[in-house]
Structure 1
Amino acid sequence: MASRLTNQATDAAPDLLPGTGRHRTMLFPRRRTTPRTARDFVATTLTEWGETSRLDDMRLCTSELVTNAVLHGAPVGRLVLVRVESLDAELRIEVHDSGEKRPTKRVPEESAVDGRGLLIVAATADSWGVKERTGPGKCVWAAFDRAKNGAAPLPPHTTGPQGDTS
């Protein structure tokens, strides 16, 4: 039996040390409604944290990345994990799925109704990429630089709970 995603995304940011940032994760079922609920999760999290300078861009990238995970990444019956991180230098959205196929940016035909998700992410986020996970699947991420977006830098040490604060 293949392993399934859990609410643990420790392999997503191995360089995240206690006190350097905060993150929140949530698991979502593989459904057509998941992109909307994932956008709402990201928006609620960032609003609670006071990180709203590029909220619309981050919601758009979340929608595109989660849609790709639902349509092309997560096998039937599996989950999609969304992680929001507020780090010293950037705000970051990660979407984890257990599918083995790596996403690729493509140039669709002008009349095509789909195929532009990663083009949108590349044009909207300051950086994006794909990385391997421990276990099945991959992590596709979009990052938004604090220096470019006017977000206030994090204080030297963030107090309070670390990890999943949902």
Structure 2
Amino acid sequence: MTCLHLPPVPASVGTARKWAANLLPDDIRDDVGDEVVLVLSELLTNAVTHAATAPPSGTGAAGSVEDIEVEVVVDPGGGHVALAVTDPSDQPLPAAPETVEPEADHGRGLLLLDALAQDHGWAPRVGGGKCVWALFRRPRVPSRDGRGGVRGPAVVRAGCAGG
């Protein structure tokens, strides 16, 4: 499969939301789909906001138009979903703010990430930029033999690492 590459423009957020929602199987969408799509939207909005001020990889010049890369990985057996958004900004992911003023137009994305994802983090890219990721664990589902637990290790990749 191919990775979803998007230009760093606001319209890319809606495109990525629809793309990700369509990748999720119905049962996973019912359990964690809203959370996955909302966090993806927030991460991509941050990437779009900061990508325009990031230097192109290896140049040190401002004004990058490098694409943002989005990946969604679904484990249908266990119902886990991982997402990653890679952008050209070398700025580390800041800590979520303690509070956001009710009248503020922005600033809630990292709070939502903390609240909705079971785990998340970021890593710098070798050639510049960073990858921000989030993991969503679906509630435990009964196995096919009825003993409980999560089902098999099958993984369906959609995006960058898929092949």
Does TM, normalized by the shorter one, top 0.5?
Answer: yes
Cα displacement (A) at 1:161:
10
**Separation in 1, partners of 2:108, 2:155:** 37
Aligned partners of 1:125 and 1:144 also within 8 Å: yes
Point out the more displaced range, 93-102 or 128-137. Answer: 128-137
**Separation in 1, partners of 2:158, 2:18:** 22
Match of 1:45 in 2: 23
Question: In the TM superposition, what are the counterparts of 1:146-165 in structure 2 within 5 Å?
Answer: 146=138, 148=139, 150=141, 153=150, 155-156=152-153, 163-164=161-162
Unmatched runs of 5 consecutive residues or more in structure 1:
1-22
Unmatched runs of 5 consecutive residues or more in structure 2:
55-63, 144-149
Structure 1 segments of 4+ aligned residues over 6 angstroms from their partners: 159-162
Match of 1:97 in 2: 87
**Which residue identity lines up with residue 85 of structure 2 in the other structure?**
V
> Are residues 156 and 128 of structure 1, via their aligned partners in 2, closer, same or farther at CA, if it must alter by over 3 Å?
closer
> Are residues 161 and 45 of structure 1, via their aligned partners in 2, closer, same or farther at CA, if it must alter by over 3 Å?
closer
When normalised by structure 2's length, the TM-score is 0.72
Match of 1:137 in 2: 129
Match of 2:14 in 1: 36
**Separation in 1, partners of 2:158, 2:82:** 19
Task: State the aligned residue count.
Answer: 141
Larger Rg: 2
**Separation in 2, partners of 1:112, 1:119:** 13
CA RMSD of aligned residues (A): 3.1
**Separation in 1, partners of 2:157, 2:122:** 30
When normalised by structure 1's length, the TM-score is 0.71
> Are residues 149 and 43 of structure 1, via their aligned partners in 2, closer, same or farther at CA, if it must alter by over 3 Å?
farther
Match of 1:6 in 2: none
Point out the more displaced range, 148-157 or 82-91. Answer: 148-157
Question: In the TM superposition, what are the counterparts of 1:118-129 in structure 2 within 5 Å?
Answer: 118-129=110-121
Cα displacement (A) at 1:72:
1.6
Match of 2:71 in 1: 83
**Which residue identity lines up with residue 43 of structure 1 in the other structure?**
A
